[in-house]
Amino acid sequence: DGGITQSPKYLFRKEGQNVTLSCEQNLNHDAMYWYRQDPGQGLRLIYYSQIVNDFQKGDIAEGYSVSREKKESFPLTVTSAQKNPTAFYLCASSITGANTGELFFGEGSRLTVL
Amino acid sequence: AQRVTQPEKLLSVFKGAPVELKCNYSYSGSPELFWYVQYSRQRLQLLLRHISRESIKGFTADLNKGETSFHLKKPFAQEEDSAMYYCALITGANNLFFGTGTRLTVIP
């Protein structure tokens, strides 16, 4: 099953710890995205990357960091600076150069801070 | 700043009844809007885009710039339409700004 793979599906973290969520894609897409999904708030963009070695902050980047060293991979680190990290995180990818609006999503990772 | 409003968090309709999921937007540029759907235990996926003027699974959506709306409609709801629906606005470079979503339940 190709597409977007996120891991782990479930993650528990103690307060004050950093945690990294993995996102890998085999669609040969240039662009990748991280969204946060909270009940009643929809999806909010955290970071996005249009090309390798480049990424941009989204609407709620504070307390998060990313890297894009490889086309296939776009890991998200939730740092201890993120005030309310418990959430469902979705990774997505798309073709660049064409504003089709079609994002391909992973199955998500649920992070719970204890 | 952009805004996408889906006023109904929950919507229930009977099978065979018409369904309309509301979406209103605010955007200073030329709007391009989309509907995404997430069925139970499945990934979020694109349902339709206004620019294509297509009907997918019996759903249609018309962009009304005067009313700044992009409501999703289907004349006869089916049980398999039960899902979470998100309206989204493209804000540049394929960046999507999503609404808060509407959970549709079709009652048998």
Local confidence pLDDT in tens for the 114 residues of chain A: 569 999 999 999 988 899 999 999 999 999 999 999 998 888 999 999 999 999 999 999 999 999 999 999 999 999 988 888 999 999 999 987 666 788 999 999 999 998
Predicted local distance difference test score (pLDDT) of residue A97: 63
B53 near A109, Cβ under 8 Å? no
Mean pLDDT of the region B13-30? 95
Residue from the list A31, A43, A101 with its beta carbon closest to the beta carbon of B34:
A101
Contact B61, B74 (CB under 8 A): no
Q: Is A69 exposed, middle or buried (0-12, 13-18, 19+ CB in 10 A)?
A: exposed
Q: Do A99 and B93 touch (CB under 8 A)?
A: yes
Residues B41 and B56: beta-carbon distance below 8 Å: no
Cα angle B36, B38, B43 (rounded to 5 degrees) comes to 105
By percentage, how much of chain B surpasses pLDDT 90?
78
Partner-chain residue, chosen from B32, B96, B100, that has the shortest CB–CB distance to A103: B96
In the block, which residue shows the tokens 């992070």? A111
Cα Rg for chain B, rounded, in angstroms?
Answer: 13
Partner residue facing B95 (CB), from A48, A105, A106: A48
pLDDT digits (tens, 9 = 90+) for B42-63: 999 999 988 787 888 999 998 9
C-alpha radius of gyration, chain A, whole number: 13
Residue in the block written with tokens 């902050």? A57
Mean pLDDT of B27-54: 90
Q: Could you count the other beta carbons within 10 Å of the beta carbon of residue A63? A: 15
Q: B9 and A40 in contact by Cβ < 8 A?
A: yes
Residue with tokens 């409003």: B5
Residues 6+ apart with CB under 8 A from A29: A71, A93, A94, A95, A96, A104
Give the HSE-up count for residue B12: Cα atoms under 13 Å, Cβ half-sphere. 2
Using the predicted structure, report yes or no on whether residue B10 has a pLDDT greater than 90: yes
Which pLDDT score, from 0 to 100, does residue B93 have? 67
Q: Do A105 and B49 touch (CB under 8 A)?
A: no
The CB density around residue A54, as the number of other CB atoms within 10 Å, is 9
Residue B91 confidence class, pLDDT cut points 50, 70, 90: confident
Angle CA B101–B58–B25, to nearest 5: 35
Chain A closest CA to B14's CA: distance in Å?
24
Residue from A38, A31, A59 nearest B93 by CA: A31
- Chain A partners of B93 at a C-beta cutoff of 8 Å? 31, 48, 50, 96, 99
Compute the count of residue pairs across chains A and B with CB atoms less than 8 Å apart: 60
Name the residue among A92, A85, A80 with its Cα closest to residue A111.
A85
